[in-house]
Amino acid sequence: MALIKIMNFYFVLSIILKSRYFSDRETVVKAAVLYGVLAAIVLIYCFITGAGYAAYTENTFGTKGFFVAMNDVGLTILLLNILACYSFQKTGDVFYFIALIIMSIGSCFVGSVACYLGTAFILLFFALSILFVKFEDYKSSYKVKLITLLLVLVIFNYALVKVISVIQEDSYLSKKYENIGAIFLEASGRGYLIDASIKTITNFNIFDWCFGKGNLYLIENQHHLYLGDPKSAEVDPLDLIGQFGLFFSIPILLFPIKRLIASIRSFIKWHNVLDYWCIIAFCCFIGHAFYGGHAYTSPLVLSYLAVFIYVLDNRDVNKYI
């Protein structure tokens, strides 16, 4: 079942790359962004009204609304926010600008550090792309640059104070994030899970290293080591190698990394908007896989990562020859 979840990415990718129903790139992009907008609106509604499910526990900041997993919907909105940033700069359509504002707000209401940092990361590079980056296919006016600079200063000042106050006032978050340095060193505070996963994997024999031991074995063994709630490490490389072994997991882990490297090379050569935002998207995806998990193993996230591959593979190559 876990392998089928991952293969969903390749099913979606094969459909949108080969089906005649997805011949219009603009339609595919707008439909994807619209999903992100609707998901963000649901999160905003649930946060304001108190409907749905809390992100962590009751009486703490954040919501996952009516979604199954907050990490999945959080990363999906981050990726689609990046797609909206690209589409706005490429087309100038106000719909995409409104979409990126709604998704930026909605992702913050998830209440996770991954969404806070991811949203800040995206908006920072959106501002940098307007103020400093020289593209071959996009140029901002001095008026837009001035407005962007003022917005950056105002939003950064407000958001920084707001996030710090939320963490300090929320008993769960203040306890969880009291040592920010340790959070980064231990990959989002899952130190005991990571330690248990590493101890489990290091005891593998050669056959296990090649083909894994399955998700149930990992969870039970990690539970036995630390007597906590039975959970996976929620660090995708560890979970994938433990479940499927190197034989299956390495090609899966390397695929986005290879596309990231290809986008970096293309951007260095052509300085275009698409490669710039694809670099941001793949970095966000890979970073979340290590920091928050639920990237390589989420059918929802992988379905919208496939849209980036679709856009890359359907661009007008004649413009860059």
Q: What is the pLDDT of residues 233-246, one digit of tens each?
A: 778 888 888 888 99
Q: Is the pLDDT assigned to residue 184 strictly greater than 50?
A: no
Average pLDDT on 219-242 reads 74
pLDDT value at 56 more than 70 = yes
pLDDT band, very low/low/confident/very high, at 210 (cuts 50, 70, 90): very high
Q: pTM of this prediction?
A: 0.84
Across 297-320, b (16+ Cβ under 10 Å) vs e yields: bbebbbbbbbbbbbbbeeeeeeee
Averaged pLDDT for residues 289-316:
87
Task: Report, as an integer, the average pLDDT of 157-168.
Answer: 70
Please tell me the predicted confidence (pLDDT) of residue 231.
65
pLDDT (0 to 100) of residue 81: 97
Residue 144: pLDDT band by 50, 70, 90 thresholds? confident
pLDDT at 150 over 90: no
The pLDDT of residue 180 is 52
Helix, strand and coil content of the chain, in percent to the nearest 5, comes to 75, 0, 20
Between residues 81 and 193, the one the model is more confident about:
81
Of 86, 76, 112, 88, which Cα lies nearest the Cα of 284?
76
pLDDT of 273 above 50:
yes
* Of 30, 135, 39, 119, the residue nearest 83 (C-alpha): 30
DSSP 216: H
